[in-house]
């Protein structure tokens, strides 16, 4: 295990802001993860686990302890009970995994194409897009339990998956380091067309799309919204969607729609669990005066998507946070809704 010192973290993230890590270890094997945790404990260092860096805002002061960058690779697949079980290392690039699953004609993650980051990051936030969530296909997770100092296997039911939430970013934050994730996919299954834009896209052709065609359409859609990492595209220097779509109770939803009606507006909404309503965070942002392409100092909003805060070229983390807070304040004043952030804030 090689321990590096004073390593810049900005180049390891898609937002490309933030300071240095006091120590950094790249762990390509499970025993290296165990060894890194032991090093942090002996030195009484705070520990942070880094995956693909796609959902992070690193403070300008950096991280005062040890960063463990997970680089565990490898994908295996085997047929099991009429399905195909894919076992992927936490360091595997997520979109490469999706590409392999689609090439094997296995359905279940095709609508999650183009999402930046690594396999190990997907369960943490219960990554979802275009009508699919990873929790729908996760069979189990192999993880290092930092508290117990041993490797454990967590079935899907133990992970507490909800909208953009799991035990890994809530009740058990910091306890588990994800090593591998197993996904149960459907061999020869039809692609998911739950998302209206996808249905409309393929309705014109009159043919049922293949998994590969859906994957291609999703990637094109993500690129059009600045949500696909493309070299040279300034709008892709982001942490993805910065705010969660609010999930409101019936009373909260009625109050919000009443405000909108007074302004002659109709807010987009979708059914959610427990008879709740999910409303569009992007709509709230744009109807609070924060338009696509707006800049505040060295930070900005993507020209393609209102939920993507971008590094315009020389942003500091403080610039991103300042813009984030201004948007939250504006939305709360205009609509009475407090927007929750999606990215992980490191070192603040």
155: β partners: 140
342 is catalytic: yes
176: β partners: 145
Identified catalytic residue from 113, 241, 302, 315: 241
Using CA atoms, how far apart are residues 270 and 247, in angstroms rounded to an integer? Answer: 9
Going 226 to 227 to 230 to 231, the CA torsion angle's sign is positive
Beta carbons of 61 and 347 less than 8 angstroms apart: yes
Cβ neighbour number for residue 80 with a 10 Å cutoff? 11
Using CA atoms, how far apart are residues 337 and 257, in angstroms rounded to an integer? Answer: 12
β-pairing, 344-346 vs 56-58, is parallel
> Tokens standing for 192?
């998911």
325 is catalytic: no
State the distance between the two ends of the chain, measured CA to CA, in whole angstroms.
Answer: 28
Helices (H), 263-316: 281-286
Using CA atoms, how far apart are residues 109 and 73, in angstroms rounded to an integer? Answer: 19
Using CA atoms, how far apart are residues 130 and 109, in angstroms rounded to an integer? Answer: 10
Identified catalytic residue from 164, 180, 184, 215: 164
**Phi (first) and psi of residue 149, to 5 degrees:** 70, 35
Using CA atoms, how far apart are residues 237 and 84, in angstroms rounded to an integer? Answer: 35
Active centre residues (catalytic): 164, 241, 342
């Amino acid at each position: 295990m090689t321990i590096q010192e004073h390593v810049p973290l900005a180049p390891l993230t898609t937002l490309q802001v933030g300071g240095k890590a006091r120590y950094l270890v790249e762990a390509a094997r499970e025993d290296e993860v165990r060894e890194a945790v032991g090093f942090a404990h002996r030195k009484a260092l705070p520990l942070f686990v880094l995956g693909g860096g796609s959902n992070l805002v690193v403070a300008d002061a950096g991280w005062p302890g040890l960063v463990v960058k997970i680089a565990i690779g490898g994908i295996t697949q085997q047929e099991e009970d009429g399905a195909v079980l894919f076992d992927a290392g936490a360091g595997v690039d997520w979109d490469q995994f999706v590409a392999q699953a689609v090439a094997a004609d296995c359905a279940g993650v095709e609508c999650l194409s183009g999402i930046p980051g690594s396999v190990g990051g997907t369960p943490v936030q219960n990554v979802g897009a275009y009508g699919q969530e990873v929790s729908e296909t996760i069979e189990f997770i192999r993880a290092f339990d930092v508290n117990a100092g041993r490797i454990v296997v967590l079935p899907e039911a133990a992970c507490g998956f909800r909208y953009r939430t799991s035990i890994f970013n809530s009740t058990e934050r910091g306890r588990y380091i994800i090593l591998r994730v197993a996904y149960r996919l459907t061999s020869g299954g039809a692609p998911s067309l739950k998302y209206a834009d996808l249905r409309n896209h393929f309705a014109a052709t009159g043919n049922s799309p293949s998994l590969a065609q859906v994957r291609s359409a999703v990637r094109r859609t993500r690129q059009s919204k600045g949500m696909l990492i493309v070299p040279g595209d300034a709008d892709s220097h982001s942490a993805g969607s910065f705010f969660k779509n609010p999930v409101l109770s019936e009373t909260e939803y009625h109050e919000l729609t009443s405000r909108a009606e007074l302004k002659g507006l109709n807010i987009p909404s979708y059914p959610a669990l427990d008879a709740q309503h999910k409303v569009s965070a992007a709509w709230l942002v744009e109807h609070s005066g924060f338009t696509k392409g707006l800049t505040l100092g060295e930070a900005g909003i993507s020209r393609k998507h209102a939920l993507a805060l971008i590094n315009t070229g020389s942003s500091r983390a403080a610039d991103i946070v300042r813009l984030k807070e201004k948007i939250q304040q504006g939305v709360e004043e205009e609509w009475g809704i407090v927007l929750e952030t999606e990215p992980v804030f490191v070192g603040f």
